[in-house]
Structure 1
Amino acid sequence: MILRADGVGWSAGRRTILSDVDLRVSPGEVVGLIGPNGSGKSSLLRLLAGLRRPATGTVFLDGTAIGSLPRRTVAQSVAFVEQAATTDQNPTVSDVLELGRTPHRRSWTVGSARDRKIIETVARETEIDGMLDEHYGSLSGGERQRVQIARAFVQEPQVMIFDEPTNHLDIKYQLSLMELVAAHVADTDASAIIALHDLNLATMFCDRIVVLSAGRVVGEGPPSQTITESMIGDVFGVQARIVDDDGVWVRVDRDGSPS
């Protein structure tokens, strides 16, 4: 399933957030979306997920305008994980994972044996199987994020959209969850677009990088060709050195972070 944005733009009041954005995500591909705060990353992801309608241009899902598709159809194909999911309710972790299966069954039916098997497998792979009976509201920020990522996997989408999925996570879980996303894409021929602040994670796990600055795409390509010292200086406003030691690594030459 191909996710495509053609000339997409979006505004908030009189402020232009995105302008003439073209983007394509193909099956089996992990695309990293990078850019400074305020560049429009989160807004673009919400347009791609069909949660907002663009002011200009169109988002397509396998050649069909996503805005013309029933929400159930979109939910069966696209999973969206935002930066910090909140809820007024206090469900258990198991209940949250069950939500990932609802697009695939009628509202009046109960979970099947297959649903339960998927939930058990994903919970084990994401290392949350020991907290299934705990209440979501009692979890730390990092634990909640892991649960939301697991919920996306349970949904069995063909396109996964992640807005800063490694926020609040320590290094171990940053790496393990990025590995899980990459492995899921490789195993299922799904695709993923991931907004990231950590440029090193982007170089390690993404097949292609899209650079967003002031609401426009200013760079696109393989990590080694896109994440360059000049790009970091122009887009993030810091000096950095690229160290190519079995991969591309970014080292900032002064206090601060390229993100």
Structure 2
Amino acid sequence: MTKAFVFAGNETVGNMVADRLCGAGWQRVGDAGAADAVLTYFTTQTALEDAYFGDNGIVQGARKGTQIIDLSCTTPTFARELNAMACVADLVAVEAPLVVTDVAVPDAFAARENLGCFVGGEEDCVEAAREVLDLLVAHVTDAGGPGSAQLARAAYSLQAAAQLVAAVEADALYHAVRTSSDMGEIAGMRAGAITPAGDALLAAVTDGRFDGTYTVEMLMGELTAALTTADDADLIQPQAEA
């Protein structure tokens, strides 16, 4: 029997999900009430909350037993709230925030090997979602119970953003000093980076590639979720805020 899914949210991620699932024999439908699985990815908290809890939202419209897989970066608090509401509605909910390994490739979502996720939720729900997650991404890291995957993703977001910013600033310094002194030109005019992600980003900047499918909107959504998580814990993160 063919399984059906619904996707709501970002079109780029939605296309990736549809390609993977339809390639595995799933059918895309437009109504959460007719789906075996509902997948979501939003870059803003408001859109995410509206999708699940608004009028005719997913929690209200999905039938009992439906898998709910949220690929968005949000807060542990929201993830726990969604899990609680899903349990009341007899839905099988997990949080599985996406991780893009190399954000600088032109189509960051095309290769399964370039994608991973953290996954959190009740143990039986996580187990039920593994079939879908393994189709979507190459690396699935089990973080624990409800809220744990979003906490892990927030920590990852802070470190990943810091590495990218450090690589860009180091390269800017290197380029500025080289071009404003008598040190001479060198091929590429790059300082290099100490992480693969930073080096890939600098290569994209050097080549003038600024139109990839991983966007600034996605990066800012990830950072916003991480900073909101810190704010919920009364913790100030000066580097990420800057």
Higher relative contact order (CA 8 A, sep 6+): 1
- Structure 2 length as normaliser, TM-score? 0.28
Q: Which protein shows a greater Rg? A: 2
Structure with the largest fraction of strand: 1
Q: Provide the TM-score with structure 1 as the length reference.
A: 0.27
Structure 1 or 2: larger helix share?
2
